[in-house]
A and B are shown apart, each in its own frame.
Chain A
Amino acid sequence: MASVRVVLPYQLHTLARCGGAKITLPIAGSVTLGAVLDALEAAYPMLLGALRDRASGQRRPLIRFYACQMDFSNAAADTALPEAVATGREALLIVGAIAGG
């Protein structure tokens, strides 16, 4: 069981009421982008639809995913996250895009 760290933007950690931006999620099996997002939504169901469209499952356009200085925003759900994320040394960063002027 991996223990994965995730950092949420202000609007989402206040919506989730998870006590702050940094949370830790247990992940069984491969630590893929999809597995982490699934675990996040399972632990905090109020985030359903906030990261991924509820109908299509696609990433919302202004949500971005980063880890270890790499952009995973357009990665497939089954993309493995870096070892440093799987071991908890680095966090998956969920970011609201800087947009809107």
Chain B
Amino acid sequence: MARIRVLVGTRKGAFILTSDAARRDWQVRGPHFGGWEIFHMAGSKANPERLYASQTSSWFGQVIQRSDDGGASWNPVGNAFAYAGDPGTHLHYDGTAKPWAFKRVWHLEPSPTDPDMVYAGVEDAALFRSTDGGQTWVELPALREQQGAKWMPGAGGMCLHTILLDPTNPQRLYVAISAAGAFRSDDGGLSWKPINRGLHSQYIPDPEAEVGHCVHRIAMHPARPQTLFMQKHWDVMRSDDAGDAWVEVSGNLPSDFGFAMAVHAHEPDTVYVVPIQSDSEHYPPEGKLRVYRSTTGGRAWDALTDGLPQQHCYVNVLRDAMAVDTLDPCGVYFGTSGGQVYVSPDAGDHWQAVVRDLPAVLSVSVQTLP
């Protein structure tokens, strides 16, 4: 019988939640790496017992942890993230040029076919790849050639936070960088192009600017990888040509600002977002925590509220804190800045809190185990 393993990264450690396929009764393990920020954890599809975790601290720097037994034990692997060559400078908030400097790993994306291959999205924004299970890391530097000198950090830092691997085409990768935009490679990361046409950001003087858009998240369905959904700083967007052009699908959302986004495991047109009031107020509109689901690929959205707090709720849901499992019906999961992790075992119709009092949740990823 299938099992579910939920990997939760928080401000103060990692937690692993497990359940059978019913997804009603949960076991909670942790904290692992207590006191450290766990920006992201991810499991390999090729070997689900192989997990990677980004453990980071303003005091003690970056550690990459690896588990080969499903999270029962962990060992640190390589943490040398050296930019290729002289990385030069990017723009700072005050418009001055600032040297590129590694700060932390925001996101880890294991290869779907090779448990030893994993990508890392880092701050200051760059993409690294390991082919030896995280022991060594090599940058894919052509990404920074996409006008990297013009990139400027967003409020959360100049982070590469999203990595999507096209399961039908190993040469195609997508990444998204806060306040720089989305980018695509069709040759395994050797070269890149900005894919931001159709995005409109009021704070950018040039409406045709190729870079500078604050993309918060992109998501796709593995069976239809040319269709992308995007939660931009403001606006929910959709592309049906691998990012070459985007159209807005915010429709009737109460706010189109937000961070998290996921696509249903079995329905490529069913998309989930969590609207947030505004970029000045990082909490849900009206104090109601609502997931919105579109079954039409955007534009028409329905609020999902059963089991979620509908008054006095002022948590946030961060960009890497929403995920789905692959059971039928599809399970949907998200974590909040208030330390709750919610699960819906029926595609969003009903929700329950698996845990309520964890540290602030930074990331949620889900493994569906045989």
The chain A residues found within 8 Å of chain B, CB to CB, are 10-12, 15, 46, 48-51, 53-55, 60, 62-63, 96-97, 100
Contact = CB atoms under 8 A, between A and B. Distances in A.
B154 interface: no
Interface in B6-59: 35-36, 57-59
A97 B59 contact: yes
A63 B59 CA distance: 6
B223 interface: no
Size band of the B side of the interface? 10 to 19
A81 B58 CA distance: 27
Nearest to A100: B58
B59 A54 contact: no
A97 B59 CA distance: 8
B61 A15 contact: no
Contacts of A10: 35
Interface in B191-218: none
Interface in B42-84: 57-63, 76, 79-83
Contacts of A51: 60
Contact of B63 (A46, A60, A62): A46
Contact of B82 (A15, A54, A62, A63): A54
B59 A60 contact: yes
A97 B60 CA distance: 10
Q: Which of B57, B59, B63, B82 has the most CB of A within 10 A?
A: B59
Given A48-B79, A54-B79, A11 B102 contact: no
A100 B80 CA distance: 26
Given A11-B35, A15-B63, A54 B58 contact: no
- Tell me whether chain A's interface is mostly helix, strand or loop, or mixed: loop
Contacts of A55: 82-83, 101-102
B61 A53 contact: yes
Interface in B143-176: none
Contacts of A62: 58-59
A15 B61 CA distance: 12
Interface string B72-101: 000010011111000000000000000001
Nearest to B102: A55
A48 B136 CA distance: 13
B59 A49 contact: no
Shortest Cβ-Cβ A-B pairs, 10 listed:
A46-B76, A62-B59, A50-B60, A96-B59, A49-B61, A49-B79, A50-B61, A54-B80, A11-B60, A11-B35
Given A48-B79, A54-B80, A55-B82, A15 B60 contact: yes
B35 A60 contact: no
Given A10-B35, A55-B102, A15 B76 contact: yes
A96 B61 CA distance: 12
Contacts of A60: 59-61
Contact of B57 (A11, A48, A54): A11
B253 to A, nearest CB: 35
Contacts of A50: 60-61, 63
A63 B57 CA distance: 11
18 contacts: A10-B35, A11-B60, A12-B60, A46-B63, A46-B76, A48-B80, A49-B61, A49-B79, A49-B80, A50-B61, A54-B61, A54-B79, A54-B80, A54-B82, A55-B102, A60-B61, A96-B60, A97-B59
A49 B62 contact: yes
Nearest to B61: A49
Nearest to A10: B35
Contacts of A100: 58
B86 to A, nearest CB: 11
B173 to A, nearest CB: 25
A100 B11 CA distance: 13
A27 B59 CA distance: 26
Contact of B36 (A11, A53, A63, A97): A11
A63 B81 CA distance: 20
A46 to B, nearest CB: 4
Nearest to A53: B61
A84 to B, nearest CB: 27
A81 to B, nearest CB: 22
B180 to A, nearest CB: 22
B219 to A, nearest CB: 32
Contacts of A54: 61, 79-82, 102
